[in-house]
Amino acid sequence: DADVTQTPRNRITKTGKRIMLECSQTKGHDRMYWYRQDPGLGLRLIYYSFDVKDINKGEISDGYSVSRQAQAKFSLSLESAIPNQTALYFCATSDRTGSYEQYFGPGTRLTVT
Amino acid sequence: AQKITQTQPGMFVQEKEAVTLDCTYDTSDQSYGLFWYKQPSSGEMIFLIYQGSYDEQNATEGRYSLNFQKARKSANLVISASQLGDSAMYFCAMREGKNRGSTLGRLYFGRGTQLTVWP
């Protein structure tokens, strides 16, 4: 089984709808991250969490919110989806030692029409 | 200013040849880490190689090596003996240092280089 899972893998939704993307990990890492990827822009950080009580905004947090329900679960919500939130969304985890390498989930492809 | 710059949107290489993907970075920290990830057309992010700022030797992982030139702030990825399966998007990323409090661990990504390997 994959160490970092994301659900759903693909989602099409309409403008104005609320949508939640979920991330679970079995790596036992404290740190979790949400990124979005747009063509030609690389990955940009939306939110990150270093433990259940520590949640921080990234560089593009407007229009998004997150919830860290447990060490293993980190959810991203779009309160009112808009078309320019169409993107590939990645969840990632990292340990607090060593290289702090990030382990990525498979991604969620979100389309807002 | 961008923290990670990848100046090559696309690169082409013939199978079995070596290719270098460029990456420059910008940080004032003394302790930082540099990563390369591969993203095939299927979309997943695959970790390739890591270089710590205090590592004296260039990192190597199989056919991948990282040409780390600290004074020039460059961390180029070298792929030797390219294979058709190397065709993918490649991202350079940086983690800043241990004195950055709560930002420690987050990665800054470049915009990527699309590598195409032709037979």
Which among A48, A90, A96 has CB closest to B106?
A48
Task: Find out whether B102 and A56 touch, Cβ atoms under 8 Å.
Answer: yes
Neighboring chain B residues of A106 at a CB cutoff of 8 Å: 43-44
Amino acid A11: pLDDT: 96
Q: Does A8 touch chain B (CB under 8 A)?
A: no
* pLDDT of B99 over the 60 cut: no
Identify whether the C-beta of residue A57 lies closer than 8 Å to the C-beta of residue A49.
Answer: no
Q: How far is Cα B69 from Cα B28, in angstroms, rounded to an integer?
A: 15
In chain A, count H helices and then E strands. 0, 11
DSSP string covering B54-72, please?
T-SS--EETTEEEEEETTT
Preferred mutation among A32, A60, A104, A108 to probe B, highest tally of B CBs within 10 A = A104
pLDDT, average across residues A71-88: 96
Q: What is the reported pLDDT for A112?
A: 97
In angstroms, rounded to a whole number, what is the distance separating the alpha carbons of residues A78 and A21?
Answer: 8
Taking CB atoms and an 8 Å limit, are B45 and A104 in contact across chains? yes
Range scoring the smallest mean pLDDT among A43-47, B34-38, B100-104, B108-112: B100-104
Instruction: Report residue A46 CA to chain centroid gap.
Output: 7
- List the structure tokens of A11: 């989602």
A4-18, A36-50, A79-93: which range is least confident on average?
A36-50
Indicate the pLDDT class of residue B50, thresholds 50, 70 and 90.
very high
Q: Which of A41, A34, A107 is nearest to B89 (CA)?
A: A41
Please tell me the distance from the alpha carbon of residue B116 to that of residue B97, in angstroms, as a whole number. 33
Nearest CA to CA, how far is A42 from chain B (Å)? 4
* Nearest Cβ partner for A42 among B43, B44, B110: B110
Strand partners, A59: none
The closest CB to that of A101, out of B35, B104, B112, belongs to B35
